[in-house]
Amino acid sequence: MLVIPAIDIMNGHCVRLVRGDFDQRTVYSDDPATIAVDFARAGAERLHVVDLDAARGEHDNRTVIEAVIEAGLTIQVAGGIRTAAQVEAWIGAGAGSVVLGTAAVREPEMLAECAHRFPGHVMAALDVRDGLPAVSGWTETEPLDISELIPRWNVLPLAGIILTCTERDGTLAGPDLATLERVLGMTELPVQYGGGISSLHDIRRVREARAAAVILGRSLYEGKLSLEQALAL
């Protein structure tokens, strides 16, 4: 199982939100690229980078993310990517994979086009709130059960699915193993889990569920665990 640190970017800063609430944010650094270098030195192989401003349809942080890419790690870029042209641009800029969230839920034809054009470089984000897919920067939910959604993705050459349980995200309340196990039971695609991780014990439980990766955010920034400890598992 991969351990993937997350860098969420808002107004050029590295921040963390609580349950995706933009009014509940903590700023941890004004230099996300330096954070990326620190994660690389600690042994990370991959980073999950989210443009929060782009996710809610405002300005983007492209130049900041390009500086993060220069740290040399494999980067999966997410947040506000809703067109094939954006996917192509990020892959051209050096992103290892591009994550589609709202588009993956609402525009299946576009997701399929991108997945076939860039096989193994496109991921689908499954952001779950109240059992439904959350979209548009988690400000809305789509009235579509995940049991209808995931079969669409299973037939595509995706790099994987990123499952975020939004009620747990940024809370340090522990992982939603029931939702993780439900999703794992529906797909053979690699599933990365994020949301609520606060300890090495939480990481072990996600690993035992057979997730392909765990994404860490607030627990790293607030010293609940170290990246070195997590990687040692």
Query: Poorest-confidence range of 27-31, 134-138, 170-174?
Result: 134-138
Would you say domain 2-232 falls under CATH 3.20.20.70? Answer: yes
Contacts of 49 (CB under 8 A, 6+ apart): 6, 7, 8, 9, 32, 65, 68, 75, 76, 77, 78
Residue 11: CA count within 13 A, CB half-sphere:
8
Share of the chain above pLDDT 70, in %: 100
| Bridging pattern class, strands 13-18 and 2-10 | antiparallel
Amino acid, single-letter form, for residue 210: R
Chain segment 196-222, per-residue pLDDT in tens: 999 999 999 999 999 999 999 999 999
Which residues are designated catalytic?
A: 8, 127
The band of 132, judged by pLDDT with boundaries at 50, 70 and 90, is confident
Q: How many other C-beta atoms lie within 10 A of the C-beta of residue 177? A: 18
Q: Report domain extents, the chain.
A: 2-232
The token pair at 131 is: 């059992």
Chain segment 31-55, per-residue pLDDT in tens: 999 999 999 999 999 999 999 999 8
pTM of the model: 0.94
Give the distance from CA 135 to its chain's centroid: 13
